[in-house]
Structure 1
Amino acid sequence: MEIQSVGAAFIRPGQVLTDRAALSAAARWTQAVSEADGICVIHLSPGVDPCEITADLREQGLRASPNHVLRGQPLFFGGPASRPFPTPAIGFKPGKSRSNVVVGLLDTGVAKHPWWSSGDWYGRLGPEEADASEGAQAGHGTFIAGLLARRAPGVALSVHRVLDGDGIGDEAAVVRALHRLRERPPQVLNLSFGCNTFDDRPPPLLADAIGALSDTVTVACAGNTGSDRPFWPAALPSTVGVAALDASQERRAPYSGYGTWVDACARGDWLASSFLDGGDFAGYAAWSGTSFATALVAGAIADAARDEPAKEAAERLLGSEGTRQIPDLGVLFPASL
């Protein structure tokens, strides 16, 4: 699908997200409407600006947003860690540990791997949840799944593919996936992707969908923007926004987003995890990005949620006296892989 750049944000041209309440107000600009899983995508008439229509609908008190493009956040630019690198096999054995905690993983999917090939949750996945085999971010979801498996041994993953092999998805697909999660909400939700918005305001339908998972702790990456510009959904008050530290775990990784809207931070540089098996890779890789710092924080919360509700576990880990706070980066979650 096409992508349009607007105000340092990316959107699907000619598309506006709404609920049913806004359809009549937008009728004169509408060419077609597609509705699924609780949201409507208005396909605008040629030449109509989705940002202008969004502003008009919001002035009327209606819920609307351009269909923002969301991207996974591994590191791609500059430095030696700007892509995944093959690494030797990691000496991790899943063992027989079992947890009742379920972690939702919306990403590129998850590929077969020895760490979970015999797991019940993996056996329930269909072909539509398999990780992409081609593209710049193929293996992104598999890499995150491995970080979660090591940080929170025994958890089950609820996998939903919302990004393609290049790590590209859009707000409509993510909101629909979140809507489907309401049937069996996970205790923790990992969102290692995001976007800037055309007006730097929170996208209302995405915020509504996350807010509807009231008992779920949603953890999202602060983005590889190197700026304090709000990155969504990490900047939502209902979400734990995660920045990346360098390998010393003392300083912000230069690429990481930061700001008062960030809640936590963890190492994001040169992490090693599960990966695709093929080409130069034999099932393992080293990679960097706020995507992966997010998985460490989500995993820590999921591990703590074995013994208490996930919301209480998150509040304790984020608010304990004596935990180290880093300005504009939030609470430090030390890497323990």
Structure 2
Amino acid sequence: MRCWISPAEAAAALRRGRGRGVRIAVLDSGIETSHSTFGGGALCDDLAIVEDGHRLKVVAGEGRDLFGHGTAVAGIIREMAPEAEIGSIRVLGESLSARTAIILEGARQAIERGYHILNCSLGCGVLEHVLKYKAWVDEAYLRGVHVVAACNNADYGRPEWPAFFTSVLTVNMARTDDNLGIFYKPGHLVEFAARGVDVDVPWSGGGTKKVTGSSFAAPRVTGMLACLLSEIPDLDPLQTKVLFQRIATPWSREIRGPNER
């Protein structure tokens, strides 16, 4: 059943919410669970999708991040929605690359395990793979699962998937110090932007790193979404996108990131 609320109610819920009861799957390079950012807290799941000959296999992630990227993403989500439940599904390797089949299996695992939000700071620009991505993004939409994706870091207008599907909350990096800001750019498939330029994040090895990229803006919106859903859990993906459009600050050239002309 749809739950209709006003933009003002959504903005108030964002301010109140802390993510309690919302489960977020981080499809990335893994999460370093020993990092002080996570305070030794357990993840919902800690999985890795690996190749075993000609088959894919789900194995334990063992609290490892093969690159540092997933730890950064999870750290931003924890900052924004401290009471949300986070699960790690490792689909990216040491070079932050993966075969489409591995990403698809990771997404399938997240949907089947009942996650409310899938954070995808990744993308595929291979045209022949569009329908493979569409299949799981459509399945998520039909089940009321929210997908948040980063766009291309070199050119935000370059088609990538899942970012270029209309049911996805797609996020670019913004040049701003406002951790809570969300910006809206109508007439683009990459509709939203959030802080993602020169951001200090947790990194593998127990340290921190200053980073720039849409990968670090998307989890900020994921955290906002978790806060909203913790207060109003019945919102579906279409409703949340419209509400974010209504409450966001209009995009301006002053906040554009390095991948926008």
TM-score by length of 2: 0.73
Corresponding letter in the other structure for 2:37: W
Corresponding residue number in structure 2 for 1:87: none
- 1:289 has 2:210 as partner: no
Output the CA distance in 2 between the equivalents of 1:239 and 1:210. Answer: 8
- Cα gap change, 1:306 to 1:240, in 2 (>3 Å): same
1:215 and 2:144 matched: yes
**1:15: which partner in 2?**
none
> Residues of 2 paired with 1:180 and 1:113: CA distance?
25
The change in CA–CA distance for 1:224 and 1:189 in structure 2 (over 3 A counts) is same
Of 193, 201, 206, 1:265 maps to 193
1:128 aligns with 2:56: no
RMSD: 2.6
Instruction: State the alpha-carbon separation in 2 of the partners of residues 98 and 314 from structure 1.
Output: 15
Aligned to 2:227: 303
- Aligned residue number for residue 170 of structure 1: 99
CA deviations on 1:138-192 (whole Å, 9 max, x unpaired) are 1000011100000011111121000001100121111111222232221111000
Q: Would the aligned equivalents of 1:131 and 1:139 in 2 still touch at CA under 8 Å? A: no
Aligned to 1:319, which of 235, 238, 245?
245
Equivalent residue runs for 1:1-337 within 5 Å: 99-111=20-32, 112-121=34-43, 125=46, 127-128=60-61, 130-133=63-66, 138-198=67-127, 203-213=130-140, 214-247=143-176, 260-277=188-205, 282-309=206-233, 310-311=235-236, 314-315=240-241, 317-320=243-246, 323-326=248-251
Measured in 2, the distance between the counterparts of 1:234 and 1:314 equals 16
Contact kept, 8 Å, 1:131 with 1:141, in 2: the verdict is no
Amino acid in the other structure paired with 1:165: E
C-alpha deviation, 1:223, in angstroms: 1.2
For residue 42 of structure 1, what is the aligned residue in structure 2? none
Overall identity of the aligned pairs, in %? 24
Question: 2-side partners of 1:121 and 1:318: how far apart?
Answer: 28
CA contact (8 A) 1:221 1:294 kept: yes
Q: Is the 8 A contact 1:276 1:283 kept in 2?
A: yes
**SS of structure 2 residue aligned to 1:131:** coil
Contact 2:157 2:190 in 1 (8 A): no
CA distance in 2, matches of 1:107, 1:160: 7
More helix, by proportion? 2
Name the larger-Rg structure: 1
Mark the runs of 5 or more structure 2 residues left unpaired by the alignment.
1-17, 48-59, 179-185, 254-261
| 1-structure distance, mates of 2:242, 2:80 | 18
- C-alpha deviation, 1:248, in angstroms: 6.0
Contact 1:190-1:298 within 8 A present in 2 as well: yes
**Unaligned 5+ residue runs, structure 1?**
1-96, 250-257, 329-337
Measured at CA, do residues 98 and 327 of structure 1 come closer, stay the same or move farther in structure 2, by a change above 3 Å? closer
Separation in 1, partners of 2:77, 2:156: 27
Change over 3 Å in CA distance of 1:209–1:158 after alignment to 2: same
